[in-house]
Amino acid sequence: MDHYAALSAILDDRSSCRQFLPDQVPRDMIEQLLQLGQRTPSWCNTQPWQVVVTEGPATDRFRKALVEHVQSGVAPSPDFAFPGQYTGAFRQRRKDCGLQLYDSVGIAKGDHDATMRQALRNFELFDAPHVAIVTTEADLGVYGAVDCGLYINTFLLGAQSLGLAAAPQAALASYSPFLREYFELPDNRQVVVGIAFGYADRDHPINQFRTARETLDNVVTWHTD
């Protein structure tokens, strides 16, 4: 087996899914995915991630409760501060991927109502049949969150390798206190992201665009002498 080719194919084929089919993923396949996640490296092998996974009616119940909570107008309160501002290249890349997303579903620039409706789709979990809420341990600080970031990537690539699709969602972490209460999580657990997952609706326009990546020249600095 050519490992490089296999990993490249998984990375090339993966993209964030924003419209799922309703079909449930069999429990044993979800467990296969979670087993892959367990092989993620972490600092001192602390494995700070804990994951809440929904299936069956529990996903719909949570989806409904979350949308109601968001629409009640309560202020977002993420455990980890969201970016304060996006400048330069970061601003441009954010703008480009936003435009791709809105273009894909025909939302015109400046159409505030349609933009808000699309943003709300995050809380409807893009109709996914499952969500995984990934939390870290507060005492482990920023590196605990880094470890969870690695876990999230294993989850995303693992899902792709199993023919599943996934959407990492910081949007869900905006309502961390609600998630902690709803899922009865201890106070020392901090929400990193939610990951909606299931089977992609491959024909839906929102799943057609692919985001760009920088060339190495813009990322790597070599020091040789």
Residues in contact with ligand FMN by CB under 6 A are: 15-16, 18, 97, 122, 167-171, 193, 211
Tokens of 219: 């990322």
In angstroms, the CA 127 to CA 20 distance is 6
State the minimum distance, in angstroms, from the CB of residue 121 to ligand FMN. Answer: 8
State the minimum distance, in angstroms, from the CB of residue 153 to ligand FMN. Answer: 8
- Contact status, residue 4 vs residue 182, Cβ threshold 8 Å: no
- Contact status, residue 40 vs residue 147, Cβ threshold 8 Å: yes
In angstroms, the CA 5 to CA 2 distance is 5
State the minimum distance, in angstroms, from the CB of residue 223 to ligand FMN. Answer: 29
State the minimum distance, in angstroms, from the CB of residue 225 to ligand FMN. Answer: 36
Closer residue to ligand FMN in complex, CB, 21/170: 170
Which string of b and e fits 24-48 if b means at least 16 CB within 10 Å? ebeeeebeebeebbeebebeeeebb
Closer residue to ligand FMN in complex, CB, 26/119: 119
Q: What burial class does residue 181 get, using C-beta atoms within 10 Å of its C-beta: 0-12 exposed, 13-18 middle, 19+ buried?
A: exposed
Rounded (5°) CA angle 123-136-26? 55
Determine the residue with CB nearest ligand FMN. 171
Closer residue to ligand FMN in complex, CB, 87/221: 87
State the minimum distance, in angstroms, from the CB of residue 122 to ligand FMN. Answer: 5
State the minimum distance, in angstroms, from the CB of residue 150 to ligand FMN. Answer: 12
Query: Which residues on adjacent β-strands are paired with residue 132?
Result: 53, 195
Closer residue to ligand FMN in complex, CB, 1/142: 142
Rounded (5°) CA angle 92-94-96? 65
Closer residue to ligand FMN in complex, CB, 66/193: 193
Closer residue to ligand FMN in complex, CB, 54/207: 207
